[in-house]
Amino acid sequence: MAPSFELHPALAVTALLLVLLVAHYLVDQYGARRHYPPGPRGLPILGNLLQLSRDAWVPFRRMKEKYGPIVYLNVFGHNIVVLNTLKASADLLDRQSAVYSDRPTVPTADTLTGSMFFPTMKHGERWSKMRRIAQECLSKGASRMVHPHQLKEALLMTDALLRSPRNWDAQLRRASASIIASATYGLSSLESEDDPEVTRVNEFAYTLLAWITPTKFVSEFLIKYLPTSMSKAKKGAQYWFEEYTSRFTCLYKDSVTRMSQGGSKTNLTNIVCNRKDRFGLNDTESAWLLAAMFSAGSETTSSVLMWFIFMMVTYPDIQAKAQEELDSVIGRSRLPSFADLDQLHYVRAIVRETLRWGPVIPLGVPHRATEDNWYQGYYIPKGTICVANVWSINRDPELYGKDAEIFNPSRHLDEHGHLNPALVDTKDESHATYGFGKRICVGRHVANNSLFISIATILWAMKIKPPKDVNGCDILPSADNIVNTGLIMRPVFFECNFEPRFPDAETVIANEKELIV
């Protein structure tokens, strides 16, 4: 009697997947591939996997030079289209947003968030409800509610930079987190970046970032077909979803309790509470929405400020020019305020240029096509992952001139030194850093205000200088030394000095600090 043979379920699933992958590859190579946008040929089954590096924005830009503004890749059967120009990105992601407002499926991330994290959520009814309420919370007009928090934290951050310059990056992270924590939950100013209220949300953000990088959208291809019992990643993500839901719900309910006991109501929790029934959100969804606003804003804002410090050390002439404007408009007897915004053209140009030159999410967060589409004669099938190469767009010489690689705030000013109208298709930003379509960053108005008042206050109070080597030469940081999480990019920590710009600067700061502490 012949021995019986049973194929292990995992091997059976793997074998089936391999067959499907080979079939998909053959169809792709010899069928519809000729209608796709141009792009590099890939390997059998793997496709273009080896071309998805952690700093993919650089090779993607080189592909533009060879294949044009739209580049097609295929990885493990996943179609990917890289958009390297503002026009292509706006044509698809803005003007055809009904087709390109979805997000790719990342099984572990979806399990980790219970599909309730607004920035990465799939397009659908829940996302639409959260988006509408988030827009009301963070609109240009509503963002003024955050001004008092931003003014306070800009002052405290500047004071801390003068007193404790060695850990200046921690001061930026603390201030950025504190603004968002105060604005979201009505919390008091945070003592440090390690405050327990912050770490519980930041821990989640770092965990999620590890799973939503562009490379993860394809490396999890096999995982999504495995049952939870066969995937350690899925089991771990399910545990953390329950843990984070508990944490976020506590933050939300504690904020509601503080308001009911007479606490400040100038926070996003109050707005969400007043609108959640109208939009049909339950308490768990409300808690996750608020956590999304917090976690999405804190890390990105502090990273932009790190690039600002980098530029001020590297370009002392730009720093000096901004300080001349501050002296002319404000003088030296008071700190900057939001009332000065319309007169501080050069400072606002520095904000724009920092966001343009150093986009902290250089590839954005990818979109996904929900139906077959054609663009300029090219076929983009349903399910295609669409990546806007923000870094490449922001350095396009056709948009920004031959010096697009250089940090130059004056490119945003007219001949009178006033802020130029923003470039077309940039939503009044003059850069593509905040994204496109219905997935554009809803918190950009709050972010712009935080950056403006923080940068204006720092430049008003101090000179930022590089350290010297033994020969008395400046030690400048290198733009090649970056921290790259796969999604967020910022400079590696570098040494620099913060000195009061004039004798009374510290006195003015101390007097203002007494009024708010």
Give the other-Cβ count within 10 Å of 401's Cβ. Answer: 11
| Alpha helix ranges (H) inside 186-280 | 196-209, 216-219, 232-260, 268-279
CB 21 within 8 A of CB 76: yes
CA-nearest of 5, 20, 81 to 225 is 20
Residue 114 has φ and ψ, to the nearest 5°, of 60, 25
d(CA 112, CA 235): 9
d(CA 354, CA 336): 19
Tell me which DSSP letter residue 36 carries: S
d(CA 264, CA 271): 12
d(CA 304, CA 354): 7
CA-nearest of 257, 285, 256, 288 to 273 is 256
How deeply is 314 buried, as exposed, middle or buried, from its count of CB atoms within 10 A (0-12, 13-18, 19+)? middle
Question: What is the DSSP pairing of strand 462-465 with strand 497-500?
Answer: antiparallel
CB 355 within 8 A of CB 348: no
d(CA 235, CA 90): 39
Tokens 């609109």 identify what position?
139
Rounded to 10 degrees, the C-alpha dihedral 327/332/338/339 comes to -80
Residue 408, H or E segment = none
Q: Which residues contact 280 (CB under 8 A, 6 or more apart)?
A: 129
Cross-strand pairs, 462: 500
Cross-strand pairs, 79: 74
Output the furthest CA–CA distance in the chain (Å, rounded): 99
d(CA 171, CA 175): 6
According to the annotation, is 273 in a ligand binding site?
Answer: no
CB 50 within 8 A of CB 76: no
d(CA 367, CA 96): 12
d(CA 289, CA 434): 19
Residue 56, H or E segment = none
d(CA 514, CA 517): 6
Q: What's the token pair of residue 517?
A: 């502490």
Reduce the secondary structure of 283-309 to three states and give it as a string. HHHHHHHHHHHHHHHHHHHHHHHHHHH
Cross-strand pairs, 72: 81
Binding residues: 441
Binding residues for heme: 441
